[in-house]
Structure 1
């Protein structure tokens, strides 16, 4: 691994007792102290090199909007162009956590992304599921969301509807302000309520499934809310061919296993 990465990334992270059970029953779980303040400071410096948000392709207009870009500024796929981020995602610490959460000896690293919610005008993130945005034929992917600075609840930290992954796919929503999954399914809030959304220290993280209904309040502070996400999934997921700017470049054929693509890094207890 690169000498620029901190030694702690070679060390295993011990999941707190009950984390996997919490994820499976509650749709999300906290990962306190996943990384040190020194590690996230190094990550923040690297992330800041990617300031310009990614613009959606014409085929992806249903996925995002100019209004949403003002709510959350993002950049994705750094690990496919930058070895620093690739080694971070495949490090024993982060890949090991992913394997623990998969509860499997092998898995796949599929995506990384920055999320910055501006201060003052960083509005709420509508509630949604991640699954409809991905070209995956089955559930099982999850997102590890890492705070890159100390974050307070009034900065718009992710909230989750605990147990909501059991609903299955609920459909596509553009993520434009006001296009919230709760409008289509008004029973969700009463049925599941909310969890998360509380203060996080730099290096604290959360994990949620691709079917977890989640969103965030607006950033009511003057400081930007910075986070970095890593996405992993099982090895049996098949590519559907649905458009996505990240996966379109993999030159995969619909019906192909992601695990067969040379563009998709495999993580393993044996590596």
Structure 2
């Protein structure tokens, strides 16, 4: 089943793999005819060669070029990221939990020939959050075909069962494999495979993941939508600086009831609020 402009339902086998391994490859998740509008919106914001990416430190600029929350400036991307079918898929992968939209981001890994596109450190996503539970799913959408040497995500299968292992992205030389060398012995690395445009790599917020260098001649284009358990409570950890001016009013130990974090599934809890205002200063 596919809604116009959205995505297909996940299968029982895909859910089973996600629950067991902490990740799943969802082939042909977004129909080919729906990819060009999404890719066009992304490129309109970040540029054809990601030249208008956000500023990053030197170490991270050599890994990727990014654009935070592109849906804040694009009604079509907001409509896609908060669509019922995307919410339904995220909920299914999280065992049927109600889900909210958290954020989206563009990740462009440039070719290593230009001095960029280096490996992404092994890390988890949840330790950077501000929520009281770890049920979170990242839907990493390939906007173009990514060959085996193009730098697509890889995972330590089952590593979500180890719990939160700490922050590791801030020091690439001290990623989670450097801090916990036994991880790779306990949790096998996912296979290297070609990712086709419209495919999605979905992973849990606690799954250890990284990406090899992009040794091809072309940039690796990916667009990520992040959903989280709708009943999560705010822990009081400050919002990232880029969102501090937009996410006020959420009280500690209360749910994330805010226009920027709408409930997107199930239907009886779905938040019908429209796209947020695209204000000056929004990244």
Q: What TM-score do the two structures reach when normalised by structure 1? A: 0.87
Counterpart selection for 1:130 from 114, 125, 133: 125
* Equivalent residue, structure 2, for 1:61: none
Offset from partner CA, 1:144-170 (integer Å, 9 cap, x none): 000000111101110000110111111
Q: Is it true that 1:25 corresponds to 2:43 in the alignment?
A: no
Q: Is it true that 1:269 corresponds to 2:251 in the alignment?
A: no
Offset from partner CA, 1:222-246 (integer Å, 9 cap, x none): 1000000000011121122323135
Instruction: Tell me how far apart the structure 1 counterparts of residues 226 and 188 of structure 2 sit (CA, whole Å).
Output: 25
Aligned CA RMSD, in angstroms, stands at 2.0
Counterpart selection for 1:8 from 4, 9, 15: 4
Instruction: Tell me how far apart the structure 2 counterparts of residues 247 and 256 of structure 1 sit (CA, whole Å).
Output: 19
Check conservation: 1:140, 1:233, Cα contact below 8 A: yes
Instruction: Tell me how far apart the structure 1 counterparts of residues 137 and 3 of structure 2 sit (CA, whole Å).
Output: 26
More displaced 10-residue stretch of structure 1: 130-139 or 180-189: 130-139
Q: Residue 121 of structure 2 aligns to a residue in which SS?
A: strand
Check conservation: 1:109, 1:267, Cα contact below 8 A: yes
* Equivalent residue, structure 2, for 1:88: 80
List alignment gaps of at least 5 residues for structure 1: 1-5, 57-64
Q: What TM-score do the two structures reach when normalised by structure 2? A: 0.84
Instruction: Tell me how far apart the structure 2 counterparts of residues 202 and 213 of structure 1 sit (CA, whole Å).
Output: 23
Q: Is it true that 1:159 corresponds to 2:138 in the alignment?
A: no
* Equivalent residue, structure 2, for 1:148: 143
Check conservation: 2:135, 2:204, Cα contact below 8 A: yes
Task: Return closer, same or farther for 1:42/1:168 CA change in 2, 3 Å cut-off.
Answer: same
* Equivalent residue, structure 2, for 1:3: none
Offset from partner CA, 1:79-99 (integer Å, 9 cap, x none): 233211110112233222122
Check conservation: 1:8, 1:93, Cα contact below 8 A: no
* Equivalent residue, structure 1, for 2:54: 54
Count residues with an aligned counterpart: 257
Q: Is it true that 1:198 corresponds to 2:193 in the alignment?
A: yes
* Equivalent residue, structure 2, for 1:226: 221
Check conservation: 1:156, 1:217, Cα contact below 8 A: yes
List alignment gaps of at least 5 residues for structure 2: 47-51, 271-283
Q: Is it true that 1:37 corresponds to 2:29 in the alignment?
A: no
